[in-house]
Every structure is written in structure tokens, then in C-alpha cells.
Amino acid sequence: MILRIVEEGSTINQTLGNVVGGVDDVTGELLGVHGFRDAESDHGLSPMVLIAPGFTHQRPIGVASVTVTKQGTGYTAARVVFRNGGGLTSPAGTAIVQNGKVVGVSIDRPGFALTATPAIEIVGDGTGAEATASLGASANPVVGELQPIADELRAHIIADGPNFTEQAAIDYRRDFGSRRVFIVEPKVSGFSATRDEYVIQEGSARQAGVIAKNDNESGFWESPSNKLILGIGGLARPIDSVGKNSRANRLNENQIATFIRDGGWYTWGNQTCSQDPKFKFLSVSRIDDMINISIARAHRWAVDRSITRGYFDDVASSVRLYLRTLVPKGAILPGADCWVDPALNGEEEISNGHATFDYDFTPAYPAERVTFRSHLVTDYIKNLFN
């Protein structure tokens, strides 16, 4: 486990900013979540599951749009002033002036955690311009910052939903379209040894723990769903799971994982936020990542070797052998292969020290939906006395 500690700010906005981090202009140090990039050089480990419990569920409310209701006249320049919106930071915008009129307002900063729709005053050398603001929720900034990091590391982000209502969770889900984001909802109830009572905790940490345990005991190719989760006493709000229209199924249909109770507490949900249907299942996305990472690392010996016909045969054979070891484990289906395409390994490529290998595989897909068809018949009455 790689742990990043950030300084708590005087406001949640400042703390989120510290978690988001970046690169120190003076020292070049990677701050906040960007520090995950240093994990391999610092610790010899590359994190595959990224979480930031307590900082991924927010959808900051800010100004989503501004409508100019009166364009006014006589303007050569104008500025936009937002008043009485509350929140932790105020919105900011720029007036767009054409032919003496204010024809629009561009939003430079939506503001953070506004509590009311701000009034807009347009100040300039003209008169009569008026505009109104509309509020909307923004995507969580920590999850947004983690996505390119997860792409680079071939990792996945376990993000907490807003822990409010089912519709709020669905709205949160619509903020993301990446295979790297896996949402869990709602929060769970866990016992606090320091407070001697059950307290509400983020579900992402529990889900990440289940994934790690599952990797160690069953393998990275196993689905994270329908796995026993220990140490929780309940959920922050009820989630039923019986029937097609249950809360659990509705969340899953919207690519949101949850937790269900059935002789114990279990994780429930397979789908990422991927827009590419190939990677809609978390286990499939992780199989693809782990195979690519494993082949690259296991074949470091192939770097800087002399390129000969035997070299191509040795590397292709080695990759093929590794892929076939995954078949009896249940990670991929039979038929995986590795080959060399002569068209991609021409004279120019080889003379520049570049060798290309192709490989393919079919992952083992999780049985997310199992259907049993019932047939009531009278055929077996004839066997009553036989």
C-alpha cells in the first residue's frame, strides 16, 4: 500500500486543492495525488488501485451558465460582478461586448460550493445590460486529476458516490466516461475503535480492500463483485437487491457498484464508467492492464539484444508461453497468440533498433446476469408410479 499524506487546509476547498496537488514550481516535487507517479522509483511498487476517501464524493456547486437578458447600449468594455452566492470561492466571468452591446458572458471560474444563485451586475461605460446565472454541479476535481495518472500507471480509481440519493449518484456517474473510474455508493457503517461506536465511512476504502484480497487469493482476473466484505455494520442508506427494479440493480444499470446484504455483506457491481463497451467490466479492464504490464516487465531482457531471426522467434515464443499459462487459471480463453508482422519490421525500423510484436487474447468475462427459465409441465406425472 502506498500512502500519500497532504496538509489539511482551513477550508474543504483548500484541502481538495492540496489533494489535487501538482508540481512544485521551485523544487519540482510532485504534490498531492501526483505523488503516485513517484511510487515505483521510491518504493519499487506501482499502485494499481487509487483511492482518496473523503475527497472523491463532492460535486461542487457553481455557476454553470449565464444568460444575457438585456444587452444594453454604449459599452466599449464591461466587467461582470457576482454577488450573494455564498460558497467557498466566488464565481468570475468576462463580458463579451460587440457593437456597444453585451452579447454574452464567458465563465472564467464557476465558484465552489455556492449556496445560492448569485445576482449578476454588469459594470461598464454603457447602460442597461442585465444577466442571470444558473447553478450546476461540477465533476469532482480529485477524480478528474487522478484520471490521467491512472492512465499512465494503468491503474483504476475507486471513487465514492455523493451518498445522498439514487438520482444524485446517477448524476455523479454522468460526470465521467473513463474505464479508469469505478464508482461505489453509498457509504458504509464501520466501527470506530477510537470512538467506540459505529460511524459512517467511505465505501471506496472497503471496496479497494476487497479487490486487494481478491487479487491475492483468486487472481486479478476475478470480478470484484459478489465478494464478502468484512467489518461493516450496515449502509448509510438502505439498498435492496431482490427483483429487477431493486435499488442495487438500478445502480448497477447506471455503472455504479454498491453493497448488498444476503447472509453477510457483499460487494455488488462490475461496471466501470467506460464509454468503450470493451472495457465496461472492471475485471476485463484490469486483465488487459495486467497482461500488458506483465509482458513489458517480463521482457526487459529483450531490450538492447541483437535483432536476429532467432531474437524474433525467442520473444514471440516467450510471450506466447506466458499467455497460455493464463488459460488454465481462468484469466483468458484458449487461443491467445503472439506473432511478428514483417510489414511492421522493415529495414528502416530494424536499422533504427525498433522491433514490433503483436499479441492477442480474449479475457474471461464475468457472468454479470444469470437467467433461469422456468417451465412448469405435466410430463412427469407418468413417472408417479414407476
End-to-end CA distance of the chain: 64
Structure confidence at residue 297 (pLDDT): 93
Q: Where are the alpha helices (DSSP H) in the chain?
A: 12-20, 39-43, 141-153, 166-173, 203-217, 247-253, 282-298, 309-325, 347-351
Alpha-carbon distance of 139 to 144, in angstroms, equals 7
Structure confidence at residue 1 (pLDDT): 64
DSSP per-residue string spanning 163-205: SS-HHHHHHHHTT---TTEEEE-S-EEEEETTTTEEEEE-HHH
**Of residues 158 and 30, more confidently modeled:** 158
Q: What is the pLDDT of residues 311-335, one digit of tens each?
A: 999 999 999 999 999 999 999 999 9
**Mean pLDDT, the chain, whole residue set:** 93
Whether residue 350 contacts residue 307, with contact meaning beta carbons closer than 8 Å, is answered with yes
pLDDT above 70: percentage of residues in the chain: 100
Q: What is the pLDDT of residues 59-91, one digit of tens each?
A: 988 999 999 999 999 999 999 999 998 877 789
Indicate if the pLDDT at residue 5 is higher than 90.
no
Query: Which residue, among 151, 173, 152, 156, has the nearest Cα to 164 in the 3D structure?
Result: 173
Sheet holding 232-235, edge to edge: 197-201, 188-192, 232-235
Structure confidence at residue 374 (pLDDT): 96
Q: What is the pLDDT of residues 207-225, one digit of tens each?
A: 999 999 999 999 999 999 9
Residues 6+ apart with CB under 8 A from 108: 92, 93, 94
Average the pLDDT over each of 19-33, 130-144, 179-193, 347-361 and give the range with the smallest value.
19-33
* DSSP-derived pairing of the beta strands 61-73 and 49-50: unpaired
Instruction: For residues 331-341, give the mean pLDDT.
Output: 97
| Per-residue confidence band for 17, with pLDDT thresholds at 50, 70 and 90 | confident
Q: What is the pLDDT of residues 101-126, one digit of tens each?
A: 999 999 998 888 888 999 999 999 99
Helices and strands, number each (H, E), in the chain: 9, 18
Grid cell listed for 155? 491503474
The single-letter code of the amino acid at 324 is R
Average the pLDDT over each of 18-32, 56-70, 323-337, 357-371 and give the range with the smallest value.
18-32
* DSSP-derived pairing of the beta strands 197-201 and 92-98: unpaired
Whether residue 105 contacts residue 134, with contact meaning beta carbons closer than 8 Å, is answered with no
Q: What is the pLDDT of residues 170-196, one digit of tens each?
A: 999 999 999 999 999 999 999 988 888
Structure confidence at residue 111 (pLDDT): 86
Q: What is the pLDDT of residues 233-267, one digit of tens each?
A: 999 999 999 988 999 999 999 999 999 999 999 99
Which segment, 15-19, 29-33, 312-316, is predicted with the most confidence on average?
312-316
Q: Where are the alpha helices (DSSP H) in 21-56?
A: 39-43
Catalogue all structural domains in the chain, each as residue range(s) with its CATH number: 12-57+141-268 (3.40.50), 61-137 (no CATH), 302-386 (no CATH)
Instruction: For residues 144-149, give the mean pLDDT.
Output: 94
Structure confidence at residue 87 (pLDDT): 78
